[in-house]
Amino acid sequence: MGRHHSFYGINNVPPYNNPFDYIIEADGNEQMLTVTNVNGDQAIYGTQPILSTHRFNENSIVFYPNPVKNELILRTSQPNAESLKIKIYNMEGKLLKSEGFNFQKEVILDISNFSKGLYFLNIEDENGNSTTNKFIIE
């Protein structure tokens, strides 16, 4: 995987007051740009990972309600606990929440501090397989 790493500031603003760190990763036809500011906020662009879907049993996990207000509930029909990583991104690709769970039947995510809008829920299993779904906060 090719990788480039650097940082830049915004014109007319003294250097290092607002540097942006960026990483470009490429692997075959897949490319990803991750831009991070000094506060740790990230924007991710490209074909990985935000909208990718690999071999993942999407039918084993459901989430509701959608639209949601305060709590997003994830439920599984699988009898065995599985280690999952859950990430929530906004429409700009900014990672807002990232948590790991030892998933047993149900997980409740508190999203009461999120603004109204459209979001992406990425669920990744311990093998790196993932699925991404959209949900709306009212």
Question: pLDDT tens digits for 63-112?
Answer: 899 999 999 998 876 656 578 899 999 988 899 999 988 877 788 999 99
The pLDDT, as a whole number, for residue 87 is 94
Q: Could you tell me the pTM of the whole model?
A: 0.58
**Annotated domain spans of the chain:** 2-46, 58-137
The pair of structure tokens assigned to 103 is: 């998933």
Angle subtended at Cα 67 by Cα 56 and Cα 93, rounded to the nearest 5 degrees: 60
One of 2.60.40.3080, 2.40.160.40, 2.40.50.140, 3.40.50.620 is the CATH number of 58-137, namely 2.60.40.3080
8-67 pLDDT, tens digit per residue, is 455 554 444 556 677 777 766 677 777 777 777 777 777 544 444 445 565 577 889 999
pLDDT band at 127 (very low <50, low <70, confident <90, very high): confident
The pLDDT, as a whole number, for residue 52 is 44
- Please tell me whether residue 60 adopts helix, strand or coil conformation: helix
The pLDDT, as a whole number, for residue 57 is 60
